[in-house]
Structure 1
């Protein structure tokens, strides 16, 4: 093994950094828009996060741990990389001088800490490669590479190359094994796969590709996480329960597992090996089926735990924001790669519910965990710093949306999400096109789309029809498009010009879903939104059983409430419920207030909220 790593270091060791990029074997189906201007509620939250979280970050606070290099077990070094990758996305969305100055300060500050042998990190020499050391180096590389790809800055690329070369040499000098370093069967350490593949793409140095392939080979050794061979198994039970929860033996760590699969997709793009893509797709299907809850996230105490069937329980440390953001990012990877609607559906549910639900009222802080019943509680600082991993991760998920709301395809444009704003792209013939969305979705299901083109051009406009939207109307100008099916991409091929108007009406009827083996709990949905009760609005106690009144088709009538009394509130409805009664005749229906999950418990006063509505069990109805 040691010899193998030494060979990797020698391959291409004298090769200069090339300007060209490696041509991928697999091309993405969807391509990010050039820029976007997002409006409405989502735009407001993006701007708040931009100004109140990212721009105000103390850069010196992030860089300081890299100067002291005294650590033996903590993860301070991840914060810089998460911050910079978030700031790069934010700058792409709003390219303002203040954000670029902040990025320059952060990158220059980090590079100044690099040792002569190439190390960037916070660990003391005797503890290198232990605990979170390689994980931190991964995030430093990701930040440096993102900055390089944004600016073409050669110093940041050179610094990332030195970090990678030093890591490979240290591993070779030790024992050549990465999957026994740090925690979680090597998933934290071996998630360095992602920046290694990116380095290969940017430098054309074969040693980085060979190193990436070696990481994947080691995954399948007895001490590795078996991320390919166990792709058919439930993510919560791939390995025996470890004696120590946060340990090397723990194989169910949600965040790190998905980070590894993100890297595997990058390797798939380069190599075209179908085994890599199949492993990610199988695992994605299992996570969605067995772990993801009604708010679009999962994990308990940071591990997969068969959470879908347990989501009505009071769950310890539920749906870590790092897990939410990484689930969104993994789905974004798969959406780009395949163009399949199901990935956009998952992003939308997670983004509007779990992700925004972790954000406080002015977007200055992210919760580390958010329950489905309970209270919004802030996370604590970690590693002796006044921020935690989720403060750093939240914006990484949030700022993926602007550049992927509308994307380019080989033959036109794809509208993945319905968000008010303007989206600039390039047509198949290389012309600039701006797609305008006029909508308050998901407050309503009405969307108007128009194109600003220099001249008419034949191309295909794809519209995502969400899986939950059973009844849909789509008009191009005054022509009704027929056979619009839920859960599909509606493709409209024609000669488009700036006078054309597309009108979409999605099915926003309230839906009731029953959960657990006896249907003992109900949740209420409207479009992609899961709704919640909140003690701010009174009504019967949260623990009482109130049955939703549905129509013959099973839908629940939700009546909008416009007066929010100055509360931090996005959506507010009233619905009819039949309260529990011990009389022979059912009680008369009562009205109960429901609001969007992201707003629940997130107002100007402390309150308790509940997604889960207890339901009376009837033995006759089993």
Structure 2
């Protein structure tokens, strides 16, 4: 059964809530890391509970129904839900009939002025009006993603009405006064509620070629500013929209602005050791947010596609294998982790169903479509994850067992004559070895692909030790995975003075009992002797696991940066 058939089966069968948990997932014969993570969150969104995303539930933020949390962000939940499922359907080829019902009910609730939700105050905007703009911005993106899938004229007409509303209020909202009035202290209803409109406006322009949307999008992009303590998610959405505007116009001004924003983030001191970013820029760097992690991942993927600069793909890869995976709950939700004073995640504990879960689902199609790229007769396999590439008589499927044995298999189903395949060597791989149908291939390129070829990629990886930022301890990695000590595996390690325990790196070795669960990374599991701070005369053992394994656990404390005994 191929992935599209499997997804179609999964979407069609009502699953029990218990199947949302990693230890009760479909059989291992279908298990591959990224596709299983996608299935986990897709199942949560389609069939999960607490809460269930029913059509009536989704429409509550369109009607601003009082009672449930955050309905003042009109269109936020519904827009994300529509966009995530529409993008998944487009990328994986699986229909979700419930999408049509929800979208038609949404656009029926649009105000004559073009916006959605409660009344909008044109003269004296308040935080509730900025919240409405935030939700409407997420809804505009969702409507455009649905239109991209269906080409439904009614949906495009609704999106245009919303775009016209934004054009109408543009002169007032795209002003320094408005930016100053809604500073970072307003946080979720700060000025980022306006600047994030770049994403929907860029999509509108790409389809309609209406210069009003392009001009407003460009003007908003000029106002994007990374302000201390402001909302990271909104800032990164704004930058992603700027990259989209570049893709629609090929005006390098927009690409330079997005790249400058990327550099500002990288130099901010707020990029976490897991590759992610916090919910708020310093000095209010208190926790992570799944939405921001997804935005940071997707921004790097879009910049890679726009520039082919490997630094963006390297960054995206680090986020994907660590922060993005660590942020995913066993229920399929995404959410928040608390950070210590040096910005290291401690425990992932809040399922943010109102935004992060849906934004997490939306990230998977971008990952899937970035794994392969093609130029002429050259196919490139860039991102070591499960994926399928189909284009112009070429069909190749990638299935990863990287976490189990360090290999990935590419199966060629169809191929035109003269097709080449080149495999990227990531920075974390010491070497890469290719086999074609059991025979070694020199280098990283396979020439003249033929149907039924099986290309096996073996990544040689090593455990490494590096200082954490600010010399707050040592980090341990294996290949792309960051390692840490989870309390769920090491209950005796964690006590009041556990940050002062001292690892003995010279004793670091492969774990004698590697992890055994769906999202385990047994190839990276390690153990080390350590000296307990509370009773140093009794050395003990601690297991280190890939932080990505958090998905298979209930929320548990982690230690990621360690004190180590220096060797002479």
Q: TM-score, normalized by length of structure 1?
A: 0.74
Change (3 A) 1:153 1:512: same
Residue in structure 2 matching 1:388, options 331, 342, 354: 354
Deviation at 1:114, TM superposition (A): 0.9
Q: Based on CA coordinates, which of the two structures has the bigger radius of gyration? A: 1
Residue in structure 2 matching 1:206, options 203, 211, 218: 211
Name the SS for the 1:115 alignment partner.
coil
Within-5 A mapping of 1:502-541: 502-517=455-470, 519-538=471-490, 539-541=492-494
Show CA shifts across 1:447-489 (max 9, x none): 23232225x522342322111222332345634424xxxxxxx
1:151 equivalent in alignment to 2:120: no
Show CA shifts across 1:212-263 (max 9, x none): 233235x2xxxxx4x5xxxxxxx5xxx5x6xxx5xxxxxx432222111112
Change (3 A) 1:459 1:548: farther
What CA distance in whole angstroms lies between the structure 2 residues aligned with 1:595 and 1:200? 46
Q: Corresponding residue for 1:549?
A: 505
1:408 equivalent in alignment to 2:374: yes
Moved more, 522-531 or 66-75: 66-75
1:576 equivalent in alignment to 2:548: no
Name the SS for the 1:362 alignment partner.
coil
Q: Which runs of 5+ in 2 are unaligned?
A: 8-29, 185-189
Change (3 A) 1:94 1:51: farther
Q: Corresponding residue for 1:425?
A: 390
What CA distance in whole angstroms lies between the structure 1 residues aligned with 2:373 and 2:5? 10
Q: Corresponding residue for 1:17?
A: none
Within-5 A mapping of 1:289-438: 289=267, 290-299=269-278, 301-304=279-282, 317-363=286-332, 365-371=333-339, 372=344, 374-379=346-351, 387-420=353-386, 423-426=388-391, 430-431=392-393, 433-438=394-399
What CA distance in whole angstroms lies between the structure 2 residues aligned with 1:159 and 1:178? 29
What CA distance in whole angstroms lies between the structure 1 residues aligned with 2:60 and 2:489? 46
Q: Corresponding residue for 1:472?
A: 432
Deviation at 1:576, TM superposition (A): 2.8
Show CA shifts across 1:341-362 (max 9, x none): 3323222221222222222213
Within-5 A mapping of 1:122-201: 122-125=118-121, 130-172=129-171, 177=175, 180=178, 182-184=182-184, 186-201=191-206
Q: Corresponding residue for 2:544?
A: 594
Deviation at 1:197, TM superposition (A): 2.0
What CA distance in whole angstroms lies between the structure 2 residues aligned with 1:593 and 1:121? 51
What CA distance in whole angstroms lies between the structure 2 residues aligned with 1:132 and 1:439? 41
- Aligned residue pair count: 517
What CA distance in whole angstroms lies between the structure 2 residues aligned with 1:404 and 1:34? 17
What CA distance in whole angstroms lies between the structure 1 residues aligned with 2:386 and 2:549? 20
1:121 equivalent in alignment to 2:117: yes
Contact 1:535-1:609 within 8 A present in 2 as well: yes
Within-5 A mapping of 1:1-12: none
What CA distance in whole angstroms lies between the structure 2 residues aligned with 1:63 and 1:131? 19
Contact 1:369-1:379 within 8 A present in 2 as well: no
1:448 equivalent in alignment to 2:414: no
Change (3 A) 1:116 1:69: farther
What CA distance in whole angstroms lies between the structure 2 residues aligned with 1:53 and 1:602? 18
Change (3 A) 1:442 1:281: farther
Contact 2:466-2:476 within 8 A present in 1 as well: yes
Contact 1:375-1:601 within 8 A present in 2 as well: no
Q: Corresponding residue for 1:41?
A: 33
What CA distance in whole angstroms lies between the structure 1 residues aligned with 2:533 and 2:58? 58
Show CA shifts across 1:314-351 (max 9, x none): x9532211110100110121122123333232222212
Show CA shifts across 1:490-534 (max 9, x none): 5x37322125443322122111122244x4412221111112212
- Alpha-carbon RMSD across the aligned residues, in angstroms, is 3.6
Deviation at 1:389, TM superposition (A): 2.4
What CA distance in whole angstroms lies between the structure 2 residues aligned with 1:198 and 1:92? 16
Contact 2:430-2:460 within 8 A present in 1 as well: yes
Q: Corresponding residue for 2:75?
A: 77
Deviation at 1:550, TM superposition (A): 4.2
